[in-house]
Structure 1
Amino acid sequence: MTPLVTAAVLLAAVTHASWNAIAHRITDKLTGFALISGGGLLIGLALTPFAAFPAAEAWPYLFFSAAVHIAYYALLMRSFQLGDFGQAYPIARGSAPLVVTVLAAVFAHEVPDGWAAAGVAVSCAGLTGVALWGLRGRRPDWAAIGAALATGLTIAAYTVLDGLGVRAAGSPLGYIAWLMAVQGTVLPLYAISRWRGRTLRKLRPYAGLGLLGAALSVAAYALVLWAQTRAALAPIAALRESSVKSGSRGNCLTAQHA
């Protein structure tokens, strides 16, 4: 974790929290995620001519990750629908680093040393504290908590898949471009099939906000993928979840304007 890698992951954390806050601000969750996913598709296609084509070894990881990302979007939408952002966001993001540590040890043979393991543990403990603070004075919404935990498992799964995939790809930019292009087709097509002739009417009011969210989403994950080619997966996953602090602030601002 060089200073440059650390700075890249922290910047990714801020941009990631920002696009999640944008997604939460769009009342119709399918509209918001269709715009963000579809915007990612357009950005990915625009990047492909300028990036090296990923190596053949990377494509199984890329396709599997795209499927997990789609499940992640579906579960995140469900989490936002069932519980408030301040509760769902820290649970979803905070449950991932510990699972990433285990999966990285098994599949990437990255066993953290004492300091790295302590850092992951401190991160998970802090994120758990944020989630519990969000529950103070209220009865737990177990359906929302369950959806958020399932979201966290998908985060851990695609983090490890993409960490292995981007290392095999030979081009972080090529990998993110094609990942966005592959995964970005499903949600927009599903939304269009649901809306039929109402698509433009649904998208128009939030088009600018949704496309901004898409740009932030692609930038955040591109930074993480680049970092994963230069450092171990578990510390990057733990550091990235500092986005929960920014995400919680975003929720406060959203609540004030609701």
Structure 2
Amino acid sequence: MTLFVFFAVLAAAAMHAIWNALVKVHLDRFLSITLMTLGMGVAGLVVLPFVEVPRAEVWPYIIASVIFHMGYRTFLIGAYRAGDFAQTYPLARGTAPLLAALGGMVVVKEVPAPLAILGILLLSAGTVVMSFRGGAHLERLNLRAVGFALGTSIFIASYTLSDGSGARLAATAQSYAAWLFICDAVGALVLCLILRGRQALPVLARDWKAGLFTGVLSGAAYWIVMWAMTKAPIASVASLRETSILFAMLISVFALGEKMTGWRGAAALSIVAGVVALRLG
């Protein structure tokens, strides 16, 4: 991974943390994610006249990614219902890079260097610990909640591998991203109507400005990630993306005045060590 790609992915991670910290939408998590996805679709429509139409061999990756994203959102709902998602979601984010690394070995024949593998492990461990803020509530996790969390991580790893492979096959990462965002927005709207019904539409329309803002910022961040996956190993990029939780911690401590605990400090050191290992690997 070149230094430029490395810092580009770090910038994408920071963007992800910033929009999570600044934007407060008065919706539940599922509707918030749906609204953000619709905003990404609008951003895709804006750039559509300036990008190529994907070739026939690229469309299976876009369709697969939309399906994986729908599965991801469905398992999100299951996680909300099964237990405290503030606890289960870290398991999804922490294990997804590991699954992406394993999947990358099989799907795209990318075997990370030993130092990169160490970096992936350190980043994953730091992400989980950081999200749990020390893991004080690990004992409360139930098998159903863990199942939904791991299912979520499988879908995250799946759409990561699909998008990395599709972006590499497409004419440009911009082309792949624009068409994916539009198709994914349609899929998200269909899923929302199936699960929440028509009554969700006025609720989404009420917060359209927040959705557009988060969609543009999130779309830009994920476009950088997809572009980076055309330049560097997918597993390394996917893992480096999770440094967003480190940026979120820095924002919470220095901007929001939250306490820096020993566990959060240890998790931060683990993430930083993982970043260094990925860069050297």
Task: Check the 8 A contact 1:24/1:85 in 2, yes or no.
Answer: no
Which residue identity lines up with residue 210 of structure 1 in the other structure?
G
Task: Identify unmatched segments of 5+ residues in structure 2.
Answer: 259-281
TM superposition score normalised by structure 1? 0.85
Which residue identity lines up with residue 32 of structure 2 in the other structure?
G
**Aligned to 1:95, what secondary structure does the other structure show?**
helix
Does residue 213 of the first structure (1) align with residue 214 of the second (2)?
Answer: yes
Alpha-carbon deviations, 1:158-193, whole Å to 9, x = none? Answer: 111111111001210000001011111122234356
Mapping for residues 147-226 of structure 1, pairs under 5 Å: 147-192=148-193, 194-196=196-198, 199-200=201-202, 202-226=203-227
- Judged with a 3 Å threshold, the aligned counterparts in structure 2 of structure 1 residues 57 and 98 are, in CA distance, closer, same or farther, namely same
- Judged with a 3 Å threshold, the aligned counterparts in structure 2 of structure 1 residues 155 and 138 are, in CA distance, closer, same or farther, namely closer
- Judged with a 3 Å threshold, the aligned counterparts in structure 2 of structure 1 residues 235 and 4 are, in CA distance, closer, same or farther, namely same
Task: Identify the residue that residue 90 of structure 1 maps to in structure 2.
Answer: 90
Does residue 111 of the first structure (1) align with residue 111 of the second (2)?
Answer: yes
Distance 1:239 1:161 in 2: 18
Task: Identify the residue that residue 27 of structure 2 maps to in structure 1.
Answer: 27
Alpha-carbon deviations, 1:25-54, whole Å to 9, x = none? Answer: 543334322311221222112221111222
Which residue identity lines up with residue 168 of structure 1 in the other structure?
L
Task: Check the 8 A contact 2:39/2:212 in 1, yes or no.
Answer: yes
Task: Check the 8 A contact 2:66/2:184 in 1, yes or no.
Answer: yes
Task: Identify the residue that residue 7 of structure 2 maps to in structure 1.
Answer: 7
Percentage of pairs with the same residue: 36
Distance 1:127 1:93 in 2: 7
Task: Identify the residue that residue 69 of structure 1 maps to in structure 2.
Answer: 69
Distance 1:85 1:198 in 2: 22
Task: Identify unmatched segments of 5+ residues in structure 1.
Answer: none
Which residue identity lines up with residue 14 of structure 1 in the other structure?
A
Task: Check the 8 A contact 1:41/1:184 in 2, yes or no.
Answer: yes
Size of the alignment, in residue pairs? 254
TM superposition score normalised by structure 2? 0.79
Structure 1 window deviating more from structure 2 (232-241 vs 121-130): it is: 121-130
Task: Identify the residue that residue 129 of structure 1 maps to in structure 2.
Answer: 129
Task: Identify the residue that residue 45 of structure 1 maps to in structure 2.
Answer: 45
Distance 1:96 1:190 in 2: 23
**Aligned to 1:87, what secondary structure does the other structure show?**
helix
- Judged with a 3 Å threshold, the aligned counterparts in structure 2 of structure 1 residues 26 and 66 are, in CA distance, closer, same or farther, namely same
Which residue identity lines up with residue 241 of structure 2 in the other structure?
R
Task: Identify the residue that residue 237 of structure 1 maps to in structure 2.
Answer: 238
Task: Check the 8 A contact 1:23/1:32 in 2, yes or no.
Answer: no
Taking only aligned residues, the RMSD between alpha carbons, in angstroms, comes to: 2.8
Structure 1 window deviating more from structure 2 (86-95 vs 65-74): it is: 86-95
Task: Identify the residue that residue 228 of structure 1 maps to in structure 2.
Answer: 229
Structure 1 window deviating more from structure 2 (81-90 vs 149-158): it is: 81-90
Deviation at 1:206, TM superposition (A): 2.4
Distance 2:206 2:159 in 1: 31
- Judged with a 3 Å threshold, the aligned counterparts in structure 2 of structure 1 residues 190 and 117 are, in CA distance, closer, same or farther, namely closer
Distance 2:252 2:80 in 1: 11
Structure 1 window deviating more from structure 2 (190-199 vs 167-176): it is: 190-199
Task: Check the 8 A contact 2:120/2:236 in 1, yes or no.
Answer: yes
